[in-house]
Amino acid sequence: MSFLNLRTPRDALEKARREHRRLETTAEMDHVFNFFVTAYHVFDYVEKTKAVEQSILDKFRADQDMRDCRDLCDKAKHLRLTKRSNPITDRWSGTLNGAPLNSVPLNGDGDWELWSGGRKVDIRSLARRVMQKWDAFFLLHGVNE
């Protein structure tokens, strides 16, 4: 029996897509959390249904964007990572705060960034790449259900 009608890898991917649309609309903390937790757990659905060989899934899981997705998911759920670099997130607001003119939107709701291992990653851009990579993975490996 499935949980909440999520039965297949495609069901999980479509849930991630809905969460991604919400995140694209507004970068509220709940949408950031929900997207990355959902997007990373698509792996579980692919793995449990044996939709692809484990070696293929493991190689995809090693992709840097998917590792960043994993870290955001894990830290969101567990507050602190102990076995890997412990990433931080920060949200910049739409105020000037010393930023060069025209570099940040005024009166915006701000956006989130991931800081991990000396890298700064825009979270909305990461979310777009994660969705693009999942779509390409499903297409390449014929994951239809």
Answer whether residue 128 is part of any domain: yes
What pLDDT, on a 0 to 100 scale, did the predictor assign at position 85? 57
What's the whole-model pTM score? 0.76
8, 49 contact by CB (below 8 A)? yes
Domain count, the chain: 1
Q: Which of 132, 110, 113 is nearest to 122 (CA)?
A: 113
How many residues are recorded in the chain?
145
User: CA-to-CA distance for 35 and 43, rounded, in angstroms?
Assistant: 14
Tell me, yes or no, whether 101 lies in a domain: no
What percent of the chain shows pLDDT beyond 70?
66
Give the chain's residues under pLDDT 70.
1-4, 75-119
Placement of tokens 């659905």 in the chain: 45
| Domain-located, residue 67 | yes
Residue-level pLDDT at 90: 46
Range of the domain at 42: 9-91+112-141
Rounded to the nearest 10 degrees, what angle do helices 64-78 and 123-141 cross at?
120
Q: What is the pLDDT of residue 100?
A: 39
Residue 137: inside a domain, yes or no?
Answer: yes
Q: Domain for residue 99, yes or no?
A: no
Burial class (CB in 10 A: 0-12, 13-18, 19+), 96: exposed
- Residue 75 in any domain: the answer is yes
- Does residue 28 lie within any of the structural domains? yes
